[in-house]
Amino acid sequence: MRKLKAVHITTTDFGGAYRAASNISEAMKRQGIESSLLVRERSGQETVIPAVKTTGSLFFSKLRNFINLQLSYGDVVNDRLGYAIHRHPLVREADIIVLHWVNSFVSYKGVERLLGLGKPVIWVMHDMWLFTGGCHYDKECGKYKEECTKCPLMKGSRGGLTRRLQNRKKKMLLHGNFTVVGCSRWITECAKKSRILGQKRCVCIPNPVDTNIFRRQAEKQTEKKKKTILFGAMILADERKGLDLLIKALANLPREQFTLSIVGEAERRIFEELEFEYHFYGRIDTQEHMAEIYNQADVFVIPSRQENLSNAVTEAMACGVPVVAFDIGGMSDMIVHQENGYLAQAFDCNALADGIVFCVQHRDRLSAKAEETATEKFSMKAVGCQYHQLLIGMSET
């Protein structure tokens, strides 16, 4: 029997969406599916295939991106131009196309052309962009349910842009064998309530974590003087990631008992208000190094204001590190309150601090349960089986 061929399409070979796309592709491979990962340009990962290779193609790719930026407005993304990805040999040969984060790579027309190939298409939602008027997260405005008018992100004469983009996306998805995958119950339910995806098939499958890399290492015998709190984000200054809320929570903790480790991209000036001992790692480029950092932590804190299904949470849990988060978005898909971590009331910084103390005090019990949850619910095998069933069902229709 011939193997199913899947091609995953995502813009870059770095960042959270790429990590999730790469893990989903690997999970499919372990189910016997022939899976490849196609990106716009390759910056470092040897396992991905770049669509744009020649000097001339790179020039026009950057030019298209520049024009798209001019047509966008801040956080409202408007991808009018894109690469003719439907012509790529991997797309032509694939039985199933899987779209991930494709901004600045695949345009609205490009999606229509992919759907027009007659192949099953899966779109994995790593954020809310697919069903909003252009933003990646709606900051709880909820306008995607009806019409994205009077967008709080827009000002002046461009206020109608979000409604036009919402209508364009709805038109883009009118035809084709199309299924939406939400990585969390939260985003799946949001999609089902949206004006764009309300009539589409929406299923929930979590992102997998590679438990061969992210696993609990043998603990060192030396007793640490201070407990280590770990916090990380791709862009630390991103308001959605809640660094300011964490700083408020830390003010409630005894500084002589805790130290903070920070991972991500930022200028050091953003830590000026942090009256707390900390170690700043900066950006971590390998999963193996990140796994080592998790294993050095006593608790991982993710104070996000909005979040889908965080790779960092499942990675930390797979390493046996209990996680503290606000009870928002997809956090309750991963964290069971006071069983494998702690869910604080949104956005109660005192409760966040209480959660840190609780997780440190009950670390052994929570750690074992966190590792068990990651293995049973988010391993490559567990998630790969769900995708295998989805792909088989779509290929037969």
Residue 63 sits in a domain whose CATH number is 3.40.50.2000
β-bridge mates for residue 203, sequence order: 181
Residues 349 and 259 in one domain: yes
Residue 253 domain flag: yes
Of 196, 123, 128, 198, nearest to 163 by C-alpha is: 196
Residues 234 and 172 in one domain: no
Residue 217 domain flag: no
Asked whether the predicted pLDDT for residue 11 surpasses 80, the reply is yes
Residues 182 and 299 in one domain: no
How do residues 344-353 score in pLDDT, each as one tens digit? 999 999 999 9
How do residues 188-225 score in pLDDT, each as one tens digit? 999 999 999 999 999 999 999 999 999 998 765 456 78
Sheet harboring 278-282: ordered strands across?
Answer: 278-282, 258-265, 227-235, 299-302, 323-326, 341-344
Residue 214 domain flag: no
The Cα-based distances of 319 to 38, 219, 334 in angstroms read 29, 11, 14
Residues 203 and 347 in one domain: no
Residue 353 domain flag: yes
Who's near 164: CB < 8 A, 6+ residues apart? none
Residues 193 and 268 in one domain: no
Residues 327 and 383 in one domain: no
Higher pLDDT, 54 or 128: 128
Residues 151 and 241 in one domain: no
Cis peptide before 347 (omega within 30 of 0): yes
Compute the distance between CA of residue 183 and CA of residue 203 in angstroms, rounded to an integer.
Answer: 9
85: pLDDT confidence band, cut at 50, 70 and 90? very high
How do residues 28-49 score in pLDDT, each as one tens digit? 999 999 999 999 988 877 789 9
Residues 374 and 384 in one domain: no
Range of the structural domain that residue 288 is part of: 227-378
Residues 261 and 365 in one domain: yes
In the chain, the amino acid numbered 58 is L
